[in-house]
């Protein structure tokens, strides 16, 4: 299990650390995958919330559903940070995600990979499918990834920054959501002339 934790990105590690804190707060003796989902939902800057925002999903109902399910988990009044354990389900979720990580060519396990790999898990699927089109959900994660590979422990931080602060103009164009350019024919024509003008060595093509 130690080898898996060494392959986690910083964002995935932080999600698990937050999940441990939430499990302790709920007096659960074991950390379950649902605790990680709860941690990601409550983190407004997480990649999960970026996808929620992109899809106009109200996360409040999902969070209430998660809390309800976590309320059904076994509790212990004596649970501490030293005694809490990672559940078999949680370990299995990391193994499943590790397989997905290898499949997509990543060197480290990122948050989006963990989510997608475990989306068919009975409890997670039960909750998300009530409020989200899962196929569209997957597509939005893929769009946010943009074909990039996670080759550093900090790589998914860049994905989050792009999703939070960037605008995918190509995606907007494909969806026909870009505003038409009106009254700029001369400027566009001039720009095209400059772009296609041959230099001494190589032509610049568009």
Which residue has better confidence, 168 or 28?
A: 28
Structure tokens at 44: 């407004």
Confidence of residue 201 (pLDDT cuts 50, 70, 90): low
pLDDT tens by residue, 134-177: 999 999 999 888 888 998 888 777 665 445 545 554 455 555 65
Identify the bridge partners of residue 86 per DSSP, sorted by sequence position.
31
- Residue 3 pLDDT: 81
How much is the pTM? 0.75
How far apart (Å, rounded) are the C-alpha atoms in residues 12 and 107? 13
């Amino acid at each position: 299990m130690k080898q898996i934790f060494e392959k986690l990105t910083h964002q995935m590690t932080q999600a698990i650390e937050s999940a441990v804190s939430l499990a302790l707060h709920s007096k659960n003796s074991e950390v379950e995958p649902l605790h990680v989902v709860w941690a990601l939902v409550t983190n407004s800057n997480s990649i999960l919330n970026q996808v929620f925002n992109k899809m106009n999903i109200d996360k409040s109902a999902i969070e209430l559903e998660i809390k309800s399910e976590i309320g059904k988990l076994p509790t212990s009044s004596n649970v501490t940070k030293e005694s809490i354990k990672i559940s078999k389900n949680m370990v299995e979720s990391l193994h499943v995600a590790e397989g997905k990580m290898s499949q997509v060519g990543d060197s480290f396990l990122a948050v989006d990979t963990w989510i997608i790999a475990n989306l068919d898990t009975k409890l997670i699927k039960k909750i998300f499918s009530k409020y989200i089109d899962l196929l569209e959900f997957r597509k939005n994660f893929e769009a946010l990834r943009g074909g990039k590979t996670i080759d550093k422990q900090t790589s998914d931080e860049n994905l989050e920054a792009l999703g939070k602060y960037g605008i995918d103009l190509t995606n907007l164009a494909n969806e026909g959501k870009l505003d038409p350019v009106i009254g700029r024919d001369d400027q566009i024509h001039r720009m095209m002339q400059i772009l296609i003008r041959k230099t001494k060595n190589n032509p610049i093509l568009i």
